[in-house]
Structure 1
Amino acid sequence: MVESFLFSIADSLIAKLASQLYEEASRVMGLYHHLQEFTHTLSLVKAVLLDAEQKQEHNHELREWLRQLKRVFSDAQDLLDEFECQTLQNQVVKAHGTTKTKVGRFFSSSNPLVFRYKMAQQIKDITNRLDKVAADRRKFGLQTIDVDTRVVHRIEMTHSHVNDSDVIGREHDKGKIIHILMQKNGIDIDKSLSVIPIVGMGGLGKTTLAKFVFNDDRINECFPLKMWVCVSENFDIKQMIVKIINSANDSASHAHAPDFQQNLNILDMEQLQNQLRNKLAGKKFLLILDDVWNEDRVKWVELRNLIQVGAAAGSKILVTTRSHSIASLMGTVSSHILQGLSLEDSTSLFVKWAFKEAEEENYPHLINIGRDIVKKCRGVPLAVRTIGSLLFSKFEANEREYVRDSEIWNLPQKKEDILPTLKLSYDLMPSYLRQCFALFSLYPKDYEFVNFEVTTLWGALGLLGSLKKNMTQEDVANQYFNELLSRSFIQDFVSCGTAYTFKIHDVVHDLALFVAKDECLLVNSHIRCIPESIRHLSFVENDLDGKSFSAKSVGVRTILFPKDGVGANSEAFFTLVSRYKYLHILDLSYSSVGTLPGFIGKLKHLRYLSLYNNKKIRGLPDSICELQSLQVLDLGGCQELEALPKGLRKLISLRDFVITTKQAVLPENDIANLSCLQYLTIECCDNVESLFSGIELPHLKALNVSSCKRLQYLPLDSKHFPALEILCIRICDKLGLSKGPEDQKFILKLKTILFTSLPQLGTLPHWLQGSISTLLSLRLEHCHNLEVLPDWLPMLTSLKALDITDCPKLRSLPDGINCLTALERLEVIDCPELFRKFTLQVGEHWNQMSHIKRISMFERKDLE
């Protein structure tokens, strides 16, 4: 229910109105007193919203009151956006405007006098509407609660792979599944493939059990090839084959390295089938098909026949599904029906998540309350874990009694419905976090989230207001991720240095769909109408080209295309977009339009615009540079783009810029004037020979230069890049990084370095010594001429991860690697000389690296 977001919206509106920016600008425009009146009424309403949100479940009239408030709040947000846009425009005109533009502006609607009058009228109108709605608050008997105290314990995010100690009550199930997998096919001896289904309701732990089995040593010995494919709702044969092949690649490399994943989507079905046969031929394998929803027998038989060709006797497929009919369709043996945990096991699981180790011994009275709560979870591990996480380190009996006695347990529900349990945990989230969580509904099930893209989404929608002074947008987002993890609402967390990925359980995804149903919509071929209340749209199918919608909504803020390869291609789509003048996010990734419609440059509220991987577009209208609110502009993969639009310096809010163009000389002076720019990616700019000669980018945190064939010169020093922390350079054949005078003072404070496919790289450039005390991660990949690492490498006292892949000429690591006391991970792949010298516990230099916690050394060709 989106009404549960209202406290957070009111809080953000009040925070904006109290900011120095609004106070100063409103005084200049003569609107100060109008905004003060609005703020006063807004504060009165905000004070009762938390109580109203909790009581709305059983009060239809109260829900209607909250809906009226939502409409007023939405219009207020649009109004303040107009205010911000005007303020930004004033800054641009003052800094970069010509006499012509200033005169033109005087005769336009942007004239300060016209704007002041217009704003004053709108503020009065909204204040009057809010006064009328606010007056009704008294008849509901609402209590004043000024502060949202629903905060949670924060834990350090770690990889959430399944440890044996994390799985409670499933040893018997594990033993039965392994017994079935290891036995011969019996009466089906003439068949080379058996299919074993695991069936159970959502949240019962089917995937956890499958992982438990998959990682068992007996399975490793029995099946030389193991593959894991998450199927979810999309049972497309081609995509299934791609996933199986890539999983086989991962298994062969013993490392889930993204660089070893093949780009197979460009192959036709015949080529894919040949690859699949080559991968599986003559091998005894175990294939996990996790979370299957397909009931089309024709599709399953087609896939099974493709997998079965050449499979060695004893190969097995393990399927997890919620559906008994699907299990019957696919299985060749009786299904393993997964039951709920016993009360004893459920209580043990609850204690594990609700207390620190051995802490429960000090609170026996809380254990009794916890046991009553656990009974209501009906043996569903996800429900038990989520409720346990909610109560972590809460030692007041009344806090646990509130959960035990909540009315939500009494709501009518289906036998296999755990949404009420999760909804209770959701209701006890802080208001700001609920709004962020609901946006997960815009992505398909089993989507692998990357923290950067979610942070961008939340930031562009204004959901990442600083909780403390000097906190960055990324700091706030990381805190939110921590809170969601501590509540067990995100899982499968994998850290990749400064980036990390995660997923959400499909039942948690169902919850996100439920709570966001009035505001977020996944658009597929079955959708005929977009309701008026919808604010966020996500298009998940490609076959919508030319389809027209009956759209009642005009206040849409977000348009996403979250699936690779699915993009906007029709006039009907842009007709729809033209309705939404308050758009904040417009994702045109994978679109095939040759030109952008003219109205794009008028979407002055846009914070995010992506044309990623558009293969046809040749030019962009200069009016894009009038989008002063734009924070992210992604032109990556636009390989036909002749030139960047003129006037980039006017994008004064831009913080993330991705560039692909045929232009030989980038407008570097314009880029240097982007004072908010923090993340810059330059990729596939094949005609660029030199970058950043003499310009300064004082706020840039991350620089990524990739696939620039002619690039020869890239000077990097602290004078021009004083804030740079992340440096990634890939596939630049002519670039020599070691150029520059030896006595030059390079004092960059880098934290992450990635060098990939740089044939000119013979050793690390000397200027990296400036990062000796700050560097955390160093990754070197496919540098075929890298022969030696510098003697100063052991001086990297903060280095935590050193990864070297496919550097065949690299003969040794420098003496003193044992001085890298902070090093936690060393990975060496396809480096034959290093592999020989440092073979695990055998090579002559093993004693220098025995202190490192995680070591991975192998050559892929030996594992195939």
Structure 2
Amino acid sequence: MVECFVYDITESLLSKLASYVYEEASRAYGVYNDLRGIKDTLSIVKGVLLDAEEKKEQNHGLREWLRQIRNVCFDAEDVLDGLDCQNLRKQVLKASGNTRMKVDHFFSSSNSLVFRFRMAHQIKHVRCRLDKIAADGNKFGLERIDVDNRLVERREMTYSHVDASGVIGRESDREKIIKILMQPHPNGDGYGDQSVCVIPIVGIGGLGKTTLAKLVFNDKRMDDLFQLKMWVCISDDFDIRQILIKIINSASASAPTIALAHQENIKNFDIEQLQSRLRHRLSGQKYLLVLDDVWNDNRAKWTQLKDLIKVGAVGSKILVTTRNNSIASMMGTVPSYVLEGLSLENCYALFNKWAFKEGEEKKYSNLIEIGKEIVKKCRGVPLAVRTLGSSLFLNFNLERWEFVRDHGIWNLKQEKDDILPALKLSYDQMPSYLRHCFAFFSLYPKDYGFTGPEVVNLWVSLGLLRSEVGSQKPENAARLYIDELHSRSFLEDFEDFGKLYYFKVHDLVHDLAQYVAKEEIFVVDSGTRNIPEQVRHLSVVENDSLRDSLFPKSSRLRTILFPTDGVGVDSVALLDAWIARYKFLRILDLSDSSFETFPNSIAKLEHLRALSLENNRRIKRLPQSICKLQNLQALTLRGCVELETLPKGFGMLISLRKLFITTKQSILPEDEFASLVNLNTLSFEFCDNLMFLFRGAQQFKSLEVLLVQSCRSLESFPFHILPKLEVLFVIRCEMLNLSLNCENPIERLRMKFLHIEECPRQQTLPQWIEGAAETLQTLLISNLHSLEMLPEWLTAMTHLKMLHIVNCPQLLYLPSDMHRLGALEDLTIDGCSELCRKCEPQSGEYWSFIAHIKHLSIGETREGKLLFQMQKQIRLKLQDLKN
């Protein structure tokens, strides 16, 4: 499936080749003509890629040709990255003014003469390969398609009939939807028209949205409630003319006494005749219209259709099913009905229905427990239950059942109406750049909790964000991608703290990610015997049998990841082999490893963007050669509790954007930090000897995120040197007084997110927070046992959306003007017994101040759960590292 990403890869490469930076560099190194040739050939190839992707399933040779294009594009990307590396070296040399460094550089392989010769040779080689592959493509007779206007193949059209006796576990959902249908429309449709109410049912593919809509549609109560019932499947293009024809035909079919009068061939009607016929048919009728399987996100088209059908009697309802939350929000006039999965009990009943003939399961007690484990894989999705149950029908072989239990759904044969094809419809409908990003979720284990920072780090390090958003901060661009995936029901358990967010990927969606990425991404576990040579991204989830012979000899590998807590590598020889072989690595995550020393050869990985030594509890020093990684954007030393000092010269890491530190140092080299001009995120954790962060007057103008945790000697840090700080965590700092040394605070802060936890010296909130009155969106206060009051100026936070106050037992009062917090949508108060009493619904003296807030949690433990999830997935690991 990986050839689906080729179009996106070529677009990315062409964007780089077209940039001014590369044009100037190519002239400087005498490779302008060759790079221009690569660009021209690649432009021609890109033009036929969409046609090739459409025809590849029927032509093995075409699939191989697409793989060759992909490989040469990746190799070209590596060569262009070499130009970037050289430019970054020049910047460091120019800034350092160090004569010894310049002499060393001249006699190294990166000096200009050697580099120019090597670069010219590499680019010529890429150009020759690309020209040959392009010529080979001529034999396939491909057509040029410049814009991807292909229709995504949808599932077959649905119909309204359902055998209700065969549906399991949706009785409660049916009753809830019917209750909504029987209620009068409370809000109108936004146009002052009270006659139509649109109720969306939204959820992941295969969850049973259509089945639920059928149950409602065929319920006898609907016949009494509505004069007219219509069922229209919108699976294909949202073509207004075709939809009008379907509605008219469905309306005629629902009224058999007049159906014959409408048997004329309306397919030949023009749009004016159709809308006239439709409005005549619906006028004055109280109707129920089901629009099933809607994919259209064009609001103009929906508005056009809605304007034509707003002619029914008061009380008319439209029931919509869709997989997309954005579509549901666009169409709905009431909150979406988010369909949940079936209970485990109902899933098992459904599984037995499809795996056995009635009553037959009692004969096969040896399969019952395996069947229960198979059902758990389905995570409540009935189509997945049906798919796996059907695959075992009349097959009572124990090994076959164990195979289905132990292998991912994507490894099993699927018919077109089964779960994987159903989910893949949603995947195919996404733009190619989003499909490519989505595939990398398969690097992580199922049920993995993702946080915003690690997703940004992954996608940025691999260059997956589109060039069109290159002017945006990577964090903002990645958030747009995440929001779109969430909207398409691919993400679950989404917890949004504004600047920070947490989510999981449904197990079946994870299976889909594995399926589409299976030729590019590989997960190593204890059962792995070999790794295919074409793999470019590796994830190690079990390290029982790590050995050099297991890993591919190809140098193409770009990612090595250890995403499972407690799983790392302890063989320096294996690490040496990886560094020597995989010179194009972008991500090297050695979390939970156990090295005492780190090899000097790390400097050879000049393309490296992200390096993690998180929770390596034995390492004491890092080699100075690590400072030669000028492309490095993220360095994680969190949890390296024996690390004595940061390497001298780390200020040369001029591309560094994220730095997570645990060190025994008591004084930080401020000049080194000041050289990190792109540093966006900085974290200090378990730095027990650190009394001050920075004491000089040097401002850190790029720093936006600061995390300070379990630094027990820390007394203060000056905010006036952090003018762009947006996110601040302060957790478990016993000696810290947040009000100290803030004599000259910035009058206006940019802070959007503030989390203060277990700072026993805080009796009140520091006044400098008031400087963020126009920007602060999230304020989390937890375990401040000395906190006695909230300041009145807190109510001046005009943009505050989330306020959580947890375990502050001395806190008795809320500010008197709480009603001024007009933007507040989420308020949690827990572990503050007296304050919780005053906020009790109806009877509490503060209830009138807070009753209007959308999400209200008083005396519940939601905050503790969310903080635990977030801290765990940001990998703070408090329980492992605290003294």
TM over 0.5: yes
Map of 1:464 onto structure 2: 465
Q: Which residue is 1:670 aligned to?
A: 672
Q: Which moved more, 1:6-15 or 1:744-753?
A: 744-753
8 Å Cα contact 2:232-2:250 kept in structure 1: no
Q: Which residue of 2 aligns with 1:116?
A: 116
Find the residue that maps to 2:73 and give its secondary structure.
helix
What is the identity, as a one-letter code, of the residue corresponding to 1:173? I
Change (3 A) 1:361 1:761: farther
Matched, 1:363 2:249: no
**Which position in structure 2 is the counterpart of 1:58?**
58
Counterpart in the other structure of 2:711? 708
The TM-score with structure 1 as length reference comes to 0.71
Sort the Cα spacing of 1:24 and 1:787 in 2 relative to 1 into closer, same or farther, 3 A.
Answer: same
Tell me which amino acid in the other structure corresponds to 2:688: D
What do residues 274-333 of structure 1 show as CA deviations (whole Å, max 9, x unaligned)? xxxxxxxxxxxxxxxxxxxxxxxxxxxxxxxxxxxxxxxxxxxxxxxx9xxxxxxxxxxx
Tell me which residue corresponds to 1:244: none
**Counterpart in 2 of 1:14?**
14
What displacement does 1:47 show?
Answer: 1.1
Structure 1, unpaired ranges of 5+: 153-167, 179-207, 213-321, 323-336, 372-383, 398-410
Matched, 1:37 2:37: yes
Q: Distance in 2 between matches of 1:169 and 1:680?
A: 57
User: CA offsets per residue over residues 231-290 of structure 1, 9 Å max, x none?
Assistant: xxxxxxxxxxxxxxxxxxxxxxxxxxxxxxxxxxxxxxxxxxxxxxxxxxxxxxxxxxxx
Paired residues of 2:717 and 2:741 also in contact (CA < 8 A): no
SS at 2:684's partner residue? strand
CA–CA separation in structure 1 for the residues paired with 2:217 and 2:788: 58
Name the SS for the 1:551 alignment partner: coil
| TM-superposed deviation, 1:843 | 2.0
1:624–1:352 Cα change, 3 Å: farther
Please tell me the residue identity of whatever aligns with 1:711.
L
Distance in 2 of aligned mates of 1:108 and 1:450:
40
Amino acid across the alignment from 1:438: A
CA gap of 1:789–1:469, structure 2 versus 1, over 3 A, is same
1:146 corresponds to 2:146 = yes
Give matches, 1:356-435, under 5 Å. Answer: 363-365=243-245, 388-389=294-295, 413-414=414-415, 417-435=418-436
1:744 Cα deviation (Å)? 5.3
In the alignment, the residues of structure 1 paired with residue 485 and residue 654 of structure 2 have an alpha-carbon distance, to the nearest angstrom, of: 33
Greater alpha carbon shift after TM alignment, 844-853 vs 623-632: 844-853
Partner of 1:341: 211
Distance 1:149 1:493 in 2: 32
Query: What SS does structure 1 have at the residue aligned with 2:57?
Result: helix
Letter in structure 1 aligned against 2:636? D
Deviation of 1:369 (Å): 12
State the AA in 1 paired with 2:717.
L
Q: Given the superposition, is the C-alpha separation of residues 426 and 626 from structure 1 closer, same or farther in structure 2, using an over 3 Å criterion?
A: same
Asked if 2 retains the 8 angstrom alpha-carbon contact of 1:386 and 1:425, the reply is: no
Q: Distance in 2 between matches of 1:544 and 1:49?
A: 41
Other-structure match for 1:660: 662
In the alignment, which residue of structure 1 is the partner of 2:354?
none
SS where residue 559 of structure 1 aligns?
strand
Change (3 A) 1:175 1:47: closer
2:780 corresponds to which letter in structure 1?
R
Q: In the alignment, what sits opposite 1:307? A: none
Q: In the TM superposition, what whole-angstrom CA distance separates every residue of 1:27-46 from its partner, at most 9, and x where no partner exists?
A: 22222222112111111111
Equivalent residue for 2:67? Answer: 67
AA aligned opposite 1:706: Q
Q: Show CA shifts across 1:611-634 (max 9, x none).
A: 111111111111111100000001
* Alpha-carbon distance in 1 for matches of 2:510, 2:423: 11
Residue matched to 1:486:
487
Residues 823/343 of structure 1: CA separation in 2 closer, same or farther (3 Å cut): closer
- 1:536-555 map, 5 Å: 536-545=537-546, 548-549=549-550, 551-555=552-556
CA displacement at 1:818 relative to structure 2: 1.2
Structure 2 CA distance for aligned equivalents of residues 95 and 353 of structure 1: 64
CA distance in 2, matches of 1:360, 1:810: 59
Q: Distance between the aligned counterparts of 1:818 and 1:360, measured in 2?
A: 46
Partner of 1:173: 168
**Secondary structure of 1:792 counterpart:** helix
Number of residues of Structure 1 aligned to a counterpart in Structure 2: 663
Distance 1:539 1:745, change over 3 A: closer
CA contact (8 A) 1:680 1:704 kept: yes
User: Which residues of 2 match residues 455-604 of structure 1 at below 5 A?
Assistant: 455-468=456-469, 470-545=471-546, 548-549=549-550, 551-571=552-572, 573-578=574-579, 579-604=581-606
- Cα distance, 1:836 vs structure 2: 2.9
Tell me if the contact between 1:701 and 1:723 (Cα under 8 Å) persists in the aligned partners. yes
- TM-score, length-scaled by structure 2: 0.70
- What's the C-alpha RMSD, in Å, of the aligned pairs? 3.7
Cα-to-partner distance string for 1:697-751 (whole Å, 9 max, x where unaligned): 101111111110100121112xx22211111111111111112466755321211
Q: What is the distance in 1 between the residues matched to 2:837 and 2:413?
A: 65
Offset of residue 825 of structure 1: 1.5
List aligned pairs for 1:197-212, cutoff 5 A.
none
CA deviation profile, 1:662-697 (whole Å, cap 9, x unmatched): 011112221121111111111111101011222211
Distance in structure 2 (CA, Å) of the matches to 1:564 and 1:765? 36
The 1-side partners of 2:644 and 2:123 are apart by: 44
Q: 1 CA distance for matches of 2:503 and 2:726?
A: 23
Indicate conservation of the 8 Å contact 1:662/1:686, yes or no. Answer: yes
- Return 5+ residue gaps in structure 2 as ranges: 153-162, 177-205, 219-229, 252-289, 305-411, 865-883
What residue is the counterpart of 1:26 in the other structure? 26
Match of 2:96 in 1: 96
Distance in 2 of aligned mates of 1:460 and 1:606 = 8
> Partners in 2 of 1:150 and 1:87 — Cα distance?
41
- The 3 A distance-change label for structure 1 pair 83 and 368 is farther
Q: How far apart are the structure 1 equivalents of 2:551 and 2:737?
A: 56
* Cα separation, 1, equivalents of 2:772 and 2:849: 23
User: Is the CA contact 2:724–2:750 (under 8 Å) kept in the aligned structure 1?
Assistant: yes
Inter-partner Cα distance in structure 2 for 1:636 and 1:151: 47
Aligned equivalents of 1:757 and 1:138: distance in 2? 67
Aligned match of 2:259 = none
